[in-house]
Structure 1
Amino acid sequence: MLKYRQNKYDPVAADAAIVKGEKFRITILTPSLVRLEYSESGIFMDEPTQVVLNRSFDPPAFITAERNGFLFIETDSMLIKYDKKAFTPYGLSIRAKETGSLWHFGCENNDYEVMNNLGGTARTLDSVDGETEIGTGLLSRLGWSVLDDSSSLVIKEDGSVAMREQAEMDYYFFAHGHRYLDCIRDFYKLTGETPLLPRFALGNWWSRYHRYTQEEYQELITRMEEEKVPMSVAVIDMDWHLVDDVPARYGSGWTGYTWNKKFFPDHVGFLKWLHEHGLKTSLNIHPADGVRGFEDCYEDFARAMGMDPVKEDDIEFDMSDPLFTENYFKYINHKMEEEGVDFQWIDWQQGTVSRMEGLDPLWLLNHYYFLDAIRNGERNIIFSRYFGPGSHRYPIGFSGDTHVTWESLDFQPYFTVRASNVGYSWWSHDIGGHTFGYRDDELEMRWYQFGMMSPILRLHSCDMEFLGKEPWKYPEPVCSAMKEVLRLRARMVPYLYSMNYLTYKEGMPIVTPLYFEEPERSEAYDVRNEYYFGTELLACPITVKADSVTLTAPFSAWIPKGAFYDLTSGIRYRGGRRAVLSRPLTEYALFIKEGGILPLDMDDCPKGDLPLPVGLEIVIGGGKDGSFTLYEDDGLKAEPAEEDMARTLISYDHVKGRIVVAAAEGDRSALPAKRDYTFRIYGVTPASKILSVSGTDDLTSSYDSQKHILTISVKGADTSSDLEIICKDMADADNDLFGALYTAIERMQAPFYFKQQLLGILKEKGTDPIVLSEFAALPDMKPEIMRVLSEIILA
């Protein structure tokens, strides 16, 4: 059961990479990554640990020398100075060459070093209202970081864990300077890649801590279908099992594995019904109390443990016991799978104490559950909590129960993007907030929008009467806007799945901070909540209330170099500058870069199981050439090679007005034979003529003169052949600033005479930036109005 993937571990470093003394060993893994060990026994550990799996890197070039009792080791990226004794601040130091910063052993815990560290993530947001401490990550403006692996347990050949036979100091030093993505990729190589998620995980999840009956849950899903709200995952919280009906002698019903027949009289039929409606299913479990005498599985489990089931003694939860672990999966998890459960929500809240010294039960649960989930080589996930570096190997992460407040929403984008600094991509938050807080329709709308541009979108709340997240419980226009956000998220799956593959294969987190791309720009560090959402999109989630005059909420952004198109308005924003972005309630700040290519499902409400689309909408940011590789497959293999994926290269030549969808390469067996395409090119003038050079002659086009978007539709293109389209005489288009300003002024809650003044100035003076001085001079001008007008005119 536990052996799957163990052969992928390659923990023994090459001899040529090692510099060794009587009690120390230094392993140069890459020019920027070194392992530092000290052991009084002179015995060193070469097994994989809970964090580190692979040390067999190609040995880099380095030189060694000894002077005045010190050993010096130099690579292209660092200079190590070491006195060959037990590690001390004086005796061990490393200079990171790219930044010139010097590390002394242990100084990473000093205030200055912690201040310059760019942060990591946290185990949970349970009961957090606003911010919480996130700890340190692998990236620092000083150009170095340290990973202490001294206390990690080792992983044995069968996948079980054991204490180290010898105590030793075991550290990894990263000296990547400001090459942040290189650092994360070396970390992945050291600790293991992020698994490829199944396609369903990227759609919309429904979850609520609520005592649903089988009938109620089916009515909910049916209503979702009627309202055209796409859902791909149905999470059933803890009341699926016996809770209040547990006999008093057994204590709390928090842990349970027996279906509550009052709520789910035919749970197998219910799970089958969900599958028929295209949904995968997960059950919430709290395993801390073990298996007790009232459980349906108890008798078989107890006999397998060598216990007398008649006595009804509790079977203690102990994943460090191989016999318990084997029987736990056999009699509980595998039975659930046979009945139709797709994956588990492991909701461990019981701390870090276990029978084995140093073993965090959460780590072992995640490790065993994930190995078991993919034991047959088939792709799957678990849903659990973060335990520290290396957690990326066990996706997906449940961040915990936050409060329903603006402060909590404002923290979640920051929390999500900083997790990339420790290689953790797949956070799932309680979108909309879990408990407490207050009713605020604007807050819920903004949380939905953030969820749409999050790694995982999972709606969740507690059992309070008025906390449901169903869109139809909110008034218009919020209800319709929520539905549109959920539909867009489902339509984004072709893009998200390709990003999912890049995370797995190329070590590219789906959410990355701006300083990954512009590490020498101080502004890239200042924008806490802004991030790249995959390779093509820039996300600026709104997390504050709108003002009462302009009816817009602000976001202080750094627009990176280049140019970006607002996906909702079509406005082109020049990059390399700060800007305050203002958006009304039903609009969000999500941008496609110039030359960016965003593939969407053409279906306006994709089915729950998110099949490969038979029609694609390809959104293109004009102004620059670009290309994008669309990755698709049957979703079955846990670790597909590149040849297992269908790879479709989509390219755009801006000067020539040329779009090419190349014939799919690799395994095309899962692709539809033919596809319809709609291309939407932002920021261009109409083409005088549009030609289909190859692929199909069934072509139509239209043009949005306000947003400057050229739309081209193609029917029945063969996926095994190139599709080429040429747009003749197409050029860059200027923003329709007057139209955008008129819309903003019309929306303003201001005196009519004042609005008329603004319009009159625009009609007389035009939209040149000089007009801002006239606006500013108006006696009734307010800062929030000036903010909105300035953004548009200076775009």
Structure 2
Amino acid sequence: MVDRNLFSLGTLGAHPAMDPDRIIQGDRWRIGVITESLIRFEWSDSGRFVDDATQSVLNRDFGPDAAPEFTVIERDGWLEIDTPSLHISYNQAPFSKEGLYATIKNVRAIDNTWHYGDDQMRNLGGTARTLDFANGRIPVGPGVNGTDGWAVIDDSASNIIRETPEVNGKANPFGTWVTPKPEPTTDFYLFAYGHRYREAVHDLYRLTGPTPLLPRFTLGNWWSRYHRYTEAEYMTLVERFEKEGIPFTTAVVDMDWHLVDDVDPKYGSGWTGYTWNKDFFPDPKRFMAWLHEQGMKITLNVHPKDGVRAFEERYPELAEAMGIDPKTEEAVQFDLTDPKFMEAYFDKLHHPMEDEGVDFWWLDWQQGGTTRQPGLDPLWGLNHLHYLDSARADGSDYAARNPRPLTFSRYAGPGSHRYPIGFSGDTVVNWESLKFQPEFTATASNIGYGWWSHDIGGHMFGYRDEELEARWYQFGAFSPINRLHSTDSPFNGKEPWNFHGDVAAAMTAALRLRHAMIPYLYTMNRRAAYEGEPLVQPLYWDWPEIRDAYKLVDEFRFGTELLVAPIVAPAEKSVQRAKADVWLPQGTWFDFFDGRRYASRPANGRRIEAWRGLDRIPVFAKAGAIVPLQEERAGEPLNSVANPQSLRVVAFPGASGSFTLWEDDGAPEASVRWASTALSLHLGETDGAATAATFTVAPVAGAADVVPETRDWTIVLRGVDASAVGDGGANVTVTSDGRTVAADVSYDAATLSAVVKISGVAATDGLTVTFVAGLPVAGDTVVEDAFAVLKDAQMLYLTKETAYAMVKELGKDALPALHTIEDLHGVDESREFDSHMPQPVIQALAEVLTRA
């Protein structure tokens, strides 16, 4: 039986009634001042208003810490409401443009006055239900941020959530149920936060409920393909991934796990199904147990629209539960509005398969938004009920394996972040689709939807372009969820070994990097759940008054430490590199991969073109950034997501910095036990002169037993001069718990990195690495990097040589002359090759010559 406690308003954390002291009310209108910037407006012809939770909104009383300052004056029939953030004027009549408006304060905007019914022309966007069939950019719904300083979320059409003992005269096993409002009302929220975008999203979470804490495994790599796998083929695939050293944490099995083509036409199509195809999977429990042994979780695709028909193995018991004689072979209709059906749907269909090994469900609802209940979207209902049911703690094998709830489905409107993870749908395989996904992902944070999972590599149609696939994998490594996917076409498999040379290497490197980033990603997972900070964020959240922060839509913040600018266009043949347009905020930045330094001195930051070969995309870390990664250890499972025994911490010089690594025991969020490890970089300075610098790993705090007793640490200071290490590591000392410990110290010239390796450090002792000569930033490697650009350039050798000589002699002062340079030692007489420098080569050299 379903656990009704899982569906209670208390479990949802709902406190839907507004504080009476913050309500201004007339006979048929009501205004709630939830915060100084968040206002609720209601109109009811009957004078009865909604104090229930709705599909989107759970909490309207933010408590005493959010008590807003406001005044209310009535003058000549007009109501004037004033807060520090806005001024509202209302004529106390039915809402109209002329009779209800608000002026937003403290914002630089032309149209900072909102009128009821205004189009949200300058809304910065939220997200969309799906990218199905998207061939590039599509429209998205509104978020809670706009450059005019206001945004509106309309909740008028939402159903309400109530404690409901009976539904349609029948006992309700769920306790709560989603029902239509007793009567229509107008009900919307004005977000008037100016350019305080982050604060607006924080209060959206307070209004609609927080993002849950994800299980750790979700942050690794997912394998997915619409393909008729057999058990043997899937196992061979997983073994090949392990042989190639490519980690995966999640096995997605698309719809062909169940009977499809073998369904008698009298029952309809095989699109919906709940019976394993035993020709493909003779022993499903064995198959799923084997995947678990490989360190993988498993999710199955389900299309529930056609209900349960007589060919299904579990039809007889489900029909009887619904009062249908199985002998009639009458189909059990899928009816999301019937609690009795939904109870049987879970208890008779899904729970048995979960106990056999299914860890969560891919709800692939594609059939519109209509149910028997007006206004109830079946997608939202499935997300809501499946997510809550997946939290069952009933002593079953399933509950023991999966202590945290999880589902995987499309977006169903504001509040959908409560039901992660999002499946963004079936995109077309082309550059246009890739180009839109970074923007689409970042913009979704404006509506609080932080855990999108895209079809990385593209799903269908389109064309084969190996460079495109590599760039998509690299974006996937820096996406919220990294799930590869494709159609069943024999030409569209996404296995890296199906691609050539450098492309396969780039794909494999991206997947390994993603798995290595799990410690960083899990810390950001905690930040998203507890602090309301999505992993991927638009630049303008932090720099709202700088124009370039809005224009560079492909670039985004990736957690607290990194800026990412995916490459979303093909390489230029002449330079054998592709570019991303990048904006660097004011400060010192380092290329995450090779440690090259970029200075951004103007207050408004700096635009650059970042040119990269196929091996990586532009990722930047600010001075003082610290990024913890996990390292593989011999003998450890490749796909492990356990709190790691070996950690590699990459830090960047130029400023002191700190980072707290968070790890836990994987328990349900309500009872989770946390361990924190403080990582800090301190640059000493005396009278302007650099002195000893330290990198410190503090003793673990909190639940120390959830992390390994001892750990191996690799501390990497990237972007530093070799003198930080000294001859044979003479300038580095390492201590733990006051004792000097042995360390392996080296310098990697390719990435300008000081590397310090220490083994067997007790988690309760901590660690201090001291660089006695400080951590001087590496000098600019202009000549070496210019040579690398010219080496790959497809152009006349003699022109290359002339350009290289010029760079060696003049450094960045050579840049103006590169635009007109010609080979003076023998121009190609046939003019088959232009002796001028190709413009892309000049642009790539310009990046090198102007970095610092």
Normalising TM by the smaller chain, what interval?
over 0.9
Partner in structure 1 of residue 481 of structure 2: 456
Please state whether the residue corresponding to 1:501 is helix, strand or coil. Answer: helix
- Structure 1 match to 2:769: 725
Q: Tell me how far 1:732 sits from its aligned partner.
A: 2.2
Pairing of 1:262-277 with structure 2 (within 5 A): 262-277=279-294
User: Which residue number corresponds to residue 647 of structure 1?
Assistant: 676
| Partner in structure 1 of residue 656 of structure 2 | 625
Paired residue type of 1:161: V
Separation (CA, whole Å) in 1 of partners of 2:563 and 2:762: 32
The aligned residue for residue 33 of structure 2 is 28
Q: Distance in 2 between matches of 1:635 and 1:148?
A: 37
Q: Determine which of 376, 379, 383 is the counterpart of 2:408.
A: 383
Correspondent of 1:754 among 795, 799, 802: 799
Q: Which residue of 1 aligns with 2:204?
A: 187
2:5 to 3, 6, 13: 3
Residue-by-residue CA offset, 1:689-747 (whole Å, 9 max, x unaligned): 22224346022211123432111111111112232221111222222111111111111
Specify the code of the residue in structure 1 equivalent to 2:790: I
The match for 1:353 is 370
Report what 1:598 is aligned to. Answer: 627
Q: Quick one: distance in 2 between partners of 1:330 and 1:706?
A: 58
Among 49, 55, 61, the alignment partner of 1:50 is 55
Q: 2:500 aligns with which of 475, 478, 486?
A: 475
Q: SS at the partner of 1:442?
A: helix
The letter of the residue matching 1:290 is G
In structure 2, what residue type is equivalent to 1:79? H
Question: Separation in 2 of the partners of 1:266 and 1:706?
Answer: 51
In the TM superposition, residue 68 of structure 1 has moved relative to its aligned partner by 1.4
Equivalent of 1:671 in 704, 707, 710: 707
Cα distance, 1:94 vs structure 2: 1.0
What's the offset of the Cα at 1:56? 1.6
Alpha-carbon offset, residue 93 of structure 1: 0.8
1:640 & 1:423 partners in 2: Cα distance?
A: 24
Q: 1:139 aligns with which of 136, 145, 149?
A: 145
Q: How far has the Cα of 1:635 moved from its partner?
A: 1.3
Query: Is 1:92 the equivalent of 2:92?
Result: no
SS of structure 2 residue aligned to 1:89: coil
Determine the structure 2 residue equivalent to 1:148.
Answer: 154
- Residue 581 of structure 1 aligns with which residue? 610
CA–CA distance in structure 1, aligned partners of residues 133 and 491 of structure 2:
19
Moved more, 281-290 or 75-84: 75-84
The TM-score normalised by the length of structure 1 is 0.97
* Residue-pair matches, total: 787
Query: Retained in 2: the 8 A contact 1:399–1:430?
Result: yes
Q: Distance in 2 between matches of 1:312 and 1:103?
A: 62
Which residue, 412, 425, 428 being the options, matches 2:453? 428
Q: Does 1:210 align with 2:200?
A: no
Q: Offset at 1:188?
A: 0.2
Asked if 2 retains the 8 angstrom alpha-carbon contact of 1:374 and 1:638, the reply is no
Unaligned runs of 5+ in 1: none
Q: What's the CA shift for 1:755?
A: 1.0
Instruction: Specify the code of the residue in structure 2 equivalent to 1:106.
Output: Y
Q: How does 1:68-107 map to 2 (within 5 A)?
A: 68-99=76-107, 101-107=111-117
Report the secondary structure of 1:407's partner residue. Answer: helix
Q: Does the 8 Å CA contact 2:629/2:647 hold for their aligned counterparts? A: yes
Distance in 2 of aligned mates of 1:764 and 1:667: 59
Contact residue 2 and residue 160 of structure 1 kept, 8 A: no
Q: Structure 1 CA distance, aligned partners of 2:675 and 2:70?
A: 41
Check conservation: 2:663, 2:676, Cα contact below 8 A: yes
Provide, for residues 333-363 of structure 1, a one-character-per-residue CA deviation record: whole Å limited to 9, x for no partner.
Answer: 1111110000000000000111000110000
Q: Matches of residues 526-541 of structure 1 in structure 2 within 5 Å?
A: 526-541=551-566
Q: Report the 3-state secondary structure (helix = DSSP H, G, I; strand = E; otherwise coil) of the residue aligned with 2:818.
A: helix
What amino acid sits opposite 2:843 in the alignment? R
Contact 1:148 1:171 in 2 (8 A): yes
1:777 partner amino acid: T
Q: Distance in 2 between matches of 1:108 and 1:528?
A: 25
Whether the 8 Å CA contact 1:108–1:145 is kept in 2: the answer is no
Relative distance call for 1:107 and 1:25 in structure 2 (3 A) is: closer
Q: Which residue number in structure 2 is paired with residue 691 of structure 1? A: 733
Q: Please, which of 772, 776, 781 is the counterpart of residue 819 of structure 2? A: 776
Aligned with residue 572 of structure 1, among 574, 597, 616: 597
Structure 2 equivalent of residue 614 of structure 1: 645
Conserved in 2, the CA contact under 8 Å of 1:473 and 1:479?
yes
Match of 2:639, SS? coil
Deviation of 1:2 after TM superposition, in Å, equals 4.4
Mean CA deviation greater in 602-611 or 678-687? 602-611
Alignment of 1:309-328 (within 5 A): 309-328=326-345
Larger CA deviation: 695-704 vs 535-544: 695-704
Q: Does 1:41 align with 2:46?
A: yes
| TM-score between both structures, scaled by the size of structure 2 | 0.91
Q: Secondary structure at 1:657's aligned position in 2?
A: strand
Structure 1 stretch displaced more, 317-326 or 92-101? 92-101
What is the RMSD of the two structures over their aligned residues, measured on CA atoms?
1.4
2:745 to 701, 704, 712: 701
Moved more, 402-411 or 603-612: 603-612
The residue that corresponds to 2:844 in the other structure is 788
Q: For the residues of structure 1 that align with 2:302 and 2:850, how far apart are their CA atoms?
A: 53
8 Å Cα contact 1:78/1:97 also seen in 2: yes
> Which SS does the other structure have where 2:34 is aligned?
strand
Letter of the 2:733 counterpart: L
Question: Are the equivalent residues in 2 in contact too, given 1:90–1:104 (CA < 8 A)?
Answer: no
Structure 2 gap segments, 5+ residues each? 164-174, 394-398, 685-691, 823-835
The AA in structure 2 aligned to 1:668 is A
DSSP-derived class of the 1:307 partner: coil
Q: CA deviation at 1:138?
A: 1.2
- Give 1:167 deviation, angstroms: 2.0
Report how far residue 446 of structure 1 moved. Answer: 0.5
The separation in 1 between residues aligned to 2:567 and 2:73, in whole angstroms, is 55
SS in 2 for 1:669: helix
Deviations 1:740-783 (A, max 9, x none): 11111111111111111111112222x2x221012122031221
Conserved in 1, the CA contact under 8 Å of 2:209 and 2:418?
yes
- Asked if the contact 2:78/2:90 (under 8 Å) is kept, the reply is yes
Q: Deviations over 1:429-452 (max 9, x none)?
A: 111111111111101100100100
Q: Deviations over 1:287-308 (max 9, x none)?
A: 0000001101100001111111
Q: Secondary structure at 1:160's aligned position in 2?
A: strand
Choose 709-718 or 215-224, whichever is displaced more: 709-718
**Could you tell me how far 1:569 is from its partner in structure 2?**
2.3
- In the alignment, the residues of structure 2 paired with residue 647 and residue 437 of structure 1 have an alpha-carbon distance, to the nearest angstrom, of 46
Shift of 1:684: 1.9
Distance change >3 Å, CA 43–CA 226, structure 1 → 2: same
C-alpha distance after superposition, 1:67-112 (max 9, x if no partner) = 1111111111111111112111111111111226544443432xxx
Distance 1:488 1:706, change over 3 A: closer
Q: Is the 8 A contact 1:195 1:639 kept in 2?
A: no
User: What is the alpha-carbon distance in structure 1 between the residues aligned to residue 594 and residue 814 of structure 2?
Assistant: 22
Pairwise CA distance, 1:41: 1.2
| Residue in structure 1 matched with residue 579 of structure 2 by the alignment | 554
Equivalent position of 1:714 in the other structure? 758
